[in-house]
Chains A and B, each alone.
Chain A
Amino acid sequence: MNSHSILRVVAKFMIPFIFLYALYVQFHGDFGPGGGFQAGVIFAVGFILYALIYGIDEARRVLPAGLTRTLLSLGVLLYAGVGGLGIYLGGNFLNYSVLSSHPVSGQHLGIFLIEFGVGTTVAATMITIFFIFAGQDR
């Protein structure tokens, strides 16, 4: 798509805002609608747009296959790790109240971390699936 200069310019203009919006949805999920799932999808869509406009190889240079696979597992591990940390600190699995000296701030920290894990896994999953599908014809 080298000739489509309008598409390229508009995509370049929009991608930072898509990422910004994804981060907003991720970290504002406590206060409004949104959370890890939605944020991960929006974040992935930013990369997918980049890949659609500039080609899979360019996108793969930015985000190598090994990195997405690592992030894929890291998200789940972070989630389960927070749960395990709850046990380690004397609570139940996925009980965040023990993560901090104050139960409510512990809950905040726990929710923040697991939403981050969810977002990481979802984004990496969507990017992986799209790249594999789009990269089949070669």
Chain B
Amino acid sequence: MVAVAFAIARLRNLFTIVMLMGVFSLLSAVLYVLLSAVDVAFTEAAVGAGVSTLLVLGTIALTSERGDYTPEKFKVMPLLIVAATGVVLIYGTLDMPLYGDPDAPANKHVVPRYIEQSGAEIGVPNIVTSVLASYRGFDTLGEVVVIFTAAIGVLVLLGRGHNRWRPGMRAGVGAKREEEEV
């Protein structure tokens, strides 16, 4: 993943970069599977590696394959700041509990209740589904509205102008991509 990330940062051909971003997403999906988060991995593989790549490819087809590139000379200060931030972040992770530690705060709070009670309360074997759809139903409603808003945004910006009152309104609309978050 690190190698792919470096390649994405260094390459200039946008088509290659899009393909590598798909590879990166797929590798993340594998990582999620290794962490036993199959639902998240599924989403990452379908959305990140699949549809996002397609949408970005569509954007490239509309614009151009080569990005604007201004050669930059090597600067020391930004590298120092990035390195210092990285060191601080890694130092922060030293305090975190080990992965899978049963005493970790994340495993102490509401998780035992979900695991013990959701079978009786919801009756759905997949606890992820019962948390997503029932216990956290309001959050999921918000996510659906976010996706809905993304579609509305694209429609408003790039739509064909199927507008009864203002025909032909989509003259001179520039291409702009909406980020969809799932």
Contacts and interface: CB of A to CB of B under 8 A. Distances in A.
A33 B158 contact: no
Interface string B115-131: 00000111111101110
Contacts of A126: 51
Interface in A46-72: 48, 65-66, 69, 72
Contacts of A44: 51
24 contacts: A25-B42, A33-B38, A33-B41, A35-B129, A35-B133, A37-B182, A38-B42, A41-B51, A48-B54, A79-B144, A80-B141, A93-B138, A107-B123, A110-B133, A111-B134, A114-B141, A117-B144, A122-B147, A122-B182, A124-B151, A125-B147, A132-B155, A133-B62, A136-B62
B106 interface: no
Nearest to B56: A133
Interface of A: 25, 29-35, 37-38, 41-42, 44-45, 48, 65-66, 69, 72-73, 75-76, 79-80, 83, 93-94, 96, 103-105, 107-108, 110-111, 114-115, 117-118, 121-122, 124-126, 128-130, 132-137
Contacts of A130: 51, 54-55, 58
Interface of A, helix, strand, loop or mixed by DSSP: helix
Given A103-B121, A111-B130, A133-B158, A75 B38 contact: no
Contacts of B1: none
B160 to A, nearest CB: 7
B144 A35 contact: no
A40 B38 CA distance: 17
Interface of B, helix, strand, loop or mixed by DSSP: helix
Contact of B43 (A38, A96, A115): A38
Contacts of B159: 132
B137 A135 contact: no
A31 B126 contact: yes
B62 A137 contact: yes
Nearest to A104: B123
Interface of B: 38-39, 41-43, 46-47, 50-51, 54-55, 58-59, 61-62, 120-126, 128-130, 132-134, 137-138, 140-141, 143-145, 147-148, 150-152, 154-155, 158-160, 162, 175, 178, 180, 182
Nearest to B33: A33
Contacts of A117: 144
Contact of A83 (B42, B141, B160): B141
B55 A42 contact: no
Contacts of A104: 120-123
